[in-house]
Amino acid sequence: MNELATLYRYRQLLAALTARDLKARYRGSILGFFWSLANPLLLLGVYTVVFTIFFPQQIVRPYPLFLFAGILPWTFFSAAVLESTNSISSNAGLIKKVMFPAETLPLVVVLSHLVHFALALPILFVAMAIYASLGLATIHATAALVPFLMLLQTIFVAGIVMAVSSAAVLLRDLRDIVANLMQLGFFITPIIYLIDNIPSRLLRALLRLNPMTPFVVSYQDILFFGHLPGLADTLLMIAYAAASMMLGIVVFDRLRDTLAEAI
Amino acid sequence: MWGRRSQFATLKSALLKRDLKLAPEASVAALRSVSCVVDRGEAFGIIGRNGSGKSTLLKVISGILKPTSGIVRVNGRVAALIELGAGFHPEITGRENILINGIMLGLSKREIEKRFDSIVEFSGIGEFIDQPVKTYSSGMYVRLGFAVAVHVDPEILLIDEVLAVGDEEFSQKCIAKIQEMKYRGVTLIFVTHQLDQIRNLCDRALWLDHGAATAIGDPARVVDDYLQAVSGAAPATSPAAAEVSGAPQRDEEERWGSGEVVLKRVVLTDDKSRELVALGAGSSVAIEMDVEVRVPQDDFVFGVGIYHADGACVYGTNTDLEGLMPQHLEANGRVRFVMPSLDLVAGTYRVDAAVHTRNGRAFDYRRGVLRFVVGSRVHDIGVYRPKHQWKFEGGIAFREIDNLKRNVPAAVVEALQSSEKKKK
């Protein structure tokens, strides 16, 4: 719980570093912050074209919205974890030369990807509104639960990111391991397919062992299908978030003192 | 293969055994049994060859590194200038970087906003403050970093080799700022290869060699010992190495040097070569040194320094500074430093006398070799009394009273009496 106190003390630093991260990312580019929106917008456009023109036979309709509801939380998770493998070593100067609370570095990664996620959501809602106005979809009241899911997911992502970022300093291979795991993860998470369409019960249970499964399924539930997340999924999300946070704190705490030397 | 294996071992051992030590083949002890106490408000210098552990020591003090054994106790807010501008991000402006750097050094957003103008002014960055830092020259970068760091109002300031960068003007400004902080009671610990800074700024110095404390004490002495070791001379005959612990006692003479040339006797005399201990302001005096030459030299400098009792240097010079080229020092002799009029204000003074090479290696350095008292019937203040007169014209007039009837400061009388006794 030491971590939480430290975090509170450094909240201004966290906020300033996150703002710096977001500003620096687009400084010097002409479209600037618009790129945060352009990327999901393009993605949505491509999916819409591909799945209405090239593959009109869809498992659920409208498939682009279903896909988008799952892909946004997945991108938040995978991009944050992937970037975290580099977050401490790319700031070696800070760790080695300044008395600096190292845990802010992975958390800045989480926060800045959370901001990107939050900026992409309105695009999903606009797309939903357009589909709704064409009578192809409805906007569900359950979508109002998105902030709660985001909070739980952020805790889950933060724990993983803290563990991965500190371990990656000592174990450089982690970067490549994570990159490959993420590619595999995309397919063992029900993003492009429906978990209920899987014939084998055993396989469905195994898929739920993937901690991202209950999160993605729940986002799809509230955004696309318009019903509340299942009880099992909710409990799983809480359990995964708590376990991940604990893992993150323990690992980071044990490795903290070696960071400045090992980096 | 080996590298990778040791890395696996590190992660595993760190996670499972809580054993934070690196694998033996990968670790080097950067510091071994260095013990010292730095008092509040002290300026403490650290010198040593490259790789002797100076920066590691600073990092350990600042908390960036954790010692594998031993304890570091620090009381007070620390600002560490290990590398100026270490936290700057090249893509964002100077203004934004000041904010982030200040927060990293422990200020709140509001505190930084309050100091913002003074930081910008000190850095001399001007209108570039709203440009991305990547457009700055390295000098500007460093100036901004230093400006932020000194505005954090630390109680303890750790400085690593950073005064060497930047142009002459800025480096002067930094030194002035550091002196100001020292005056305000900030504890300074700094690492530098510019030995003059150690001599001029520090109260004490530490010489690290291969991670161990070789000498701690008076900065001039430690620097001399260090220079001697670096120039490869025979081990000093001085007792400095033995005096590793404890601050030097300022009232007693300290002496160090190689002993190839020795100042056998150093006295203050009047113009008739009679030894003096007390004198009046404006007396004609000389510092007389009897020189014994044990090994003839062709590179030698004689120097004298006069210090006020509170430690301030009144005057210092040497033959080299005054353009005297050494020719030969073959046999014993006498050096006289003649001052036709020593215009000092009443007080106690201390004299240093030295003979050394032109690059500062001491043959014989005698700190506080003699003391003298200047007495005066006038209660003027300061250290230097220029020859002067009061002149009045027009409707301003004074009536002179007899100075003798006025009280002479008790301290001066006492000093005069005690020096009188010593003479007998």
SS3 of A154-223: the string is HHHHHHHHHHHHHHHHHCCCHHHHHHHHHHHHHHCCCCCCCHHHCCCHHHHHHHHHCCHHHHHHHHHHHH
Contact assessment for residue A229 and residue A221, using Cβ atoms and an 8 Å cutoff: yes
Domain boundaries, chain A: 2-262
Q: Closest partner residue to B100 among A17, A171, A257, by Cβ?
A: A17
Q: What is the pLDDT of residues A68-97, one digit of tens each?
A: 899 999 999 999 999 999 999 888 878 887
Q: What is the largest CA-CA distance in chain B?
A: 97
pLDDT at B418: 59
Exposure of B96 in the CB half-sphere (CA atoms within 13 A): 21
Q: Is B98 on the interface with A (CB under 8 A)?
A: no
Quickly state the pLDDT bin for B36 (edges 50, 70, 90).
confident
Average pLDDT over residues B274-284: 81
Tens of pLDDT, residue by residue over B172-195, are 788 888 888 888 888 999 888 888
Is the minimum CB–CB distance between B378 and chain A shorter than 8 Å? no
**Which residues are CB-neighbours of B336 under 8 A, at least 6 positions away?**
B286, B287, B288, B289
pLDDT at B244 over 70: no
- C-alpha to C-alpha distance for B136 and B130, rounded to whole angstroms: 11
Nearest CA in chain A to B62: A99
Q: Is A102 on the interface with B (CB under 8 A)?
A: no
Architecture of domain B33-243: 3-Layer(aba) Sandwich (3.40)
- The candidate with the shortest Cα–Cα distance to A73, out of A229, A246, A250, is A229
Give dist(CA B146, CA A135) in Å, integer. 63
CB B216 within 8 A of CB B244: yes
Instruction: Give contacts of A 30-69 with B, CB under 8 A.
Output: none
Q: Determine whether domain B254-393+400-423 maps to CATH 3.40.50.10800.
A: no
Residue percentage of chain B with pLDDT more than 90: 13
In the prediction, which pLDDT does A240 show? 96
Strand order in the sheet with B333-342: B261-270, B283-293, B333-342
Are A257 and B59 within 8 A, CB to CB?
no
pLDDT at residue B243 is higher than 50: no
What is the spatial distance between Cα B302 and Cα B288, in angstroms, rounded to a whole number? 11
Interchain contact A176–B (C-beta under 8 A) = no
Q: What are phi and psi of B368, to 5 degrees?
A: 65, 35
The pLDDT, as a whole number, for residue B149 is: 83
Cβ–Cβ contact B7 with A under 8 A: yes
Q: Which residues contact A76 (CB under 8 A, 6 or more apart)?
A: A113, A114, A116, A117, A153, A157
**Cβ–Cβ below 8 Å for B96 and A254:** no
Yes or no, beta carbons of B65 and A261 under 8 Å apart: yes
Picking from B55, B103, B135 by the largest number of A CB atoms within 10 A of its own CB, the best residue to mutate is B103
Q: What pLDDT is recorded for position A113?
A: 93
SS3 A256: helix
Helices (H) and strands (E) in chain A, counts: 11, 0
Q: Treating both helix axes as pointing N-terminal to C-terminal, what angle do B109-123 and B94-104 enclose, rounded to 10 degrees?
A: 120
- For residues B162-169, give the mean pLDDT: 69
**Residue B113 in this model has a pLDDT that exceeds 60:** yes
Which chain A positions have a beta carbon within 8 Å of B105's beta carbon? 98
In this predicted model, what pLDDT tens digit does every residue of A173-227 receive, in sequence order?
Answer: 899 999 999 999 998 999 888 888 888 889 888 888 899 999 999 999 999 999 9
pLDDT of residue B242: 37
- Residues B135, B412: Cα–Cα separation, whole Å: 62
Instruction: For chain B, give the percent of residues with pLDDT over 70.
Output: 81
Average pLDDT of chain B is: 79
Contacts of B81 in chain A (CB under 8 A): none
B144, HSE (Cβ side, Cα atoms, 13 Å): 33
Catalogue the long-range contacts made by B223-226 (C-beta closer than 8 Å, 24 or more residues apart). B223/B47, B223/B195, B223/B198, B223/B199, B223/B360, B224/B256, B224/B257, B224/B356, B224/B360, B224/B361, B224/B362, B224/B365, B225/B256, B226/B47, B226/B48, B226/B195
- CB of B86 within 8 Å of any CB in chain A? yes
pLDDT of residue B381: 79
Which tens digits make up the pLDDT trace of B54-67?
Answer: 888 888 888 888 88
Residues linked to residue B286 through DSSP beta bridges, in sequence order:
B269, B338
Instruction: Give the span between the Cα atoms of B311 and B318, in whole angstroms.
Output: 19
Distance CA B147, CA B157 (A): 13
Confidence at residue B2, expressed as pLDDT on a 0 to 100 scale: 35
Radius of gyration of chain A (CA): 19
Instruction: Provide the CB-side half-sphere exposure for A120 (13 A, CA).
Output: 26
pLDDT value at residue B163:
65
Cβ contacts (< 8 Å) between A167 and chain B: which residues? 11, 15
Q: How much helix, strand and coil, in percent to the nearest 5, is found in chain B?
A: 30, 25, 40
Interface-testing mutation among B64, B97, B99, B131, with chain A (most A C-beta atoms within 10 A): B64
Total residues found in chain A within this entry? 263
Residue B21 vs residues A28, B27, B73: alpha-carbon distances, Å: 44, 8, 21
Q: 3-state DSSP call for residue A4?
A: helix
Listed by start position, the domains of chain B span 1-30, 33-243, 254-393+400-423
Measured from the Cβ of residue B70, the count of other Cβ atoms closer than 10 Å reads: 11
Contact B278, B419 (CB under 8 A): yes
The nearest CA of chain B is from the CA of A44 a distance in Å of: 30
Q: pLDDT: is B83 or A163 the higher one?
A: A163
Q: Tell whether A8 lies on the interface with B, counting CB pairs under 8 A.
A: no
As a dihedral over the C-alpha atoms of residue A231, residue A232, residue A237, residue A240, rounded to 10 degrees, the angle is 150
Other beta carbons within 10 angstroms of residue B191's beta carbon come to 23
> In this predicted structure, what is the pLDDT of residue B302?
94
In terms of pLDDT, which residue wins out, A23 or A220? A220
* Chain B residues within 8 A of A260 when measuring between CB atoms: 59, 64-65
DSSP reduced 3-state for B304: strand
B327-352: pLDDT as tens digits: 988 889 999 999 988 888 888 888 99
- Is residue B18 over pLDDT 60? no
ipTM of the complex: 0.73
Q: Collapsing DSSP states into helix, strand and coil, what is residue B405?
A: helix
CB atoms within 10 A of CB B4: 11
Are A171 and B11 a contacting pair at CB < 8 A? yes
Nearest chain A alpha carbon to B26: A262
CB contacts, 8 Å: B191 with chain A = none
Helix (H, G, I), strand (E, B) or coil at A92: helix
Instruction: State the best of A13, A18, A26, A98 to mutate against chain B, taking most chain B CBs within 10 Å.
Output: A98
How far A110 CA sits from the closest chain B CA (Å)? 18
Whether chain B has a CB inside 8 Å of the CB on A28: the answer is yes
pLDDT of B387: 86
Average pLDDT (B271-296) is 86
Cis status of the peptide bond prior to A62, with omega within 30 of 0:
yes
Which of B7-11, B19-23, B246-250, B262-266 has the highest mean predicted lDDT (pLDDT)?
Answer: B262-266
